[in-house]
Amino acid sequence: MPKLGQNQYGKAETRVVRMVRDGAVHHIKDLNVSVALSGEMSDVHLSGSNANVLPTDTTKNTVYAFAKEHGIESAEQFGIHLARHFVTSQEPIHSARIRIEEYAWERIGTTGGAQHSFVRKGQEVRTAQIAYDGERWEVLAGLKDLTVMNSTDSEFWGYVKDKYTTLKEARDRVLATEVHARWRYGWSDDARPMPDWDHDWAEARGHLLSAFAETYSLSLQQTLYQMGARVIERRPEVDEIRLSLPNKHHFPVDLAPFGLKNDNEVYFAADRPYGLIEATVLRDGAEATIPTD
């Protein structure tokens, strides 16, 4: 006899751009918001009754209305406003999950002093996920597509070799990766002060970059752990961080057929296949909850 399992529904990837005009100085918040709602939804699946269903079009409209009514202070704060609204305003909805990507813009300097021209930043995408069940919060912050490289201070040798191994040991190699990180804040209930979302995100990002730059790497796994550990050690509001680091391989090109010596100067940047290193770093006593997806 089949039965209905875990289910959710909502509107995915609602793009909302909030413009704040402070006189001649303008500010942009550019978000991609996905809403997922869960609760008493058995009837709509089993009999087609929509009596408990808030239309996904309504969730889209709510995103736009809240951008006006509440503004967008930060991705996390905006997600908290939305999640609380859906759970507390609709009795059949027991939990809400809000996923947000934020696209950053920076000002274009002009000789005339205008502050309304921007260029889209290409460094990374800020991410946030907010889950609320009416009592407890889970807030994940993070980033993706942050491409970094160390042109030296990286080795890879002493690994297992079998009859299929052709990779040569490297005592000086390029280490490049595209950082995908998510971290979970210890804040989980309204009785405690919220973190300073923008400040704490910037601090965590800075620690990730500093650890990447300052670690003499014998493996990408070692670098990953140092990056996660730096955040846990220096940001007390973070209990857990999950990192996914693809190895953006740079292979030295064989220039011998042309009578040339390649002294770690010319590389082939391979886009696939690539090694993928993933791990979670936890504060002592914390449990891992960040999903691997």
Residue of 26, 27, 56, 116 with catalytic role: 56
| 11 labelled catalytic | yes
Residue of 11, 60, 81, 180 with catalytic role: 11
| 292 labelled catalytic | no
Residue of 215, 249, 250, 280 with catalytic role: 249
Helices (H), 5-162: 42-46, 56-69, 75-89
- Residue ranges of E strands in the chain: 14-22, 25-39, 93-103, 105-107, 118-120, 125-132, 137-150, 175-185, 238-246, 250-252, 267-269, 276-282
Query: In which residue are the tokens 């918001």 written?
Result: 33
In this structure, the number of other CB atoms found within 10 A of the CB of residue 161 comes to 10
Instruction: Assess contact for 145 and 207: CB atoms under 8 A.
Output: no
| 56 labelled catalytic | yes
Q: In sequence order, which residues have a C-beta less than 8 Å from that of residue 175 and are 6 or more positions away?
A: 149, 150, 153, 154, 217, 220, 223
Catalytic residue set: 11, 56, 249
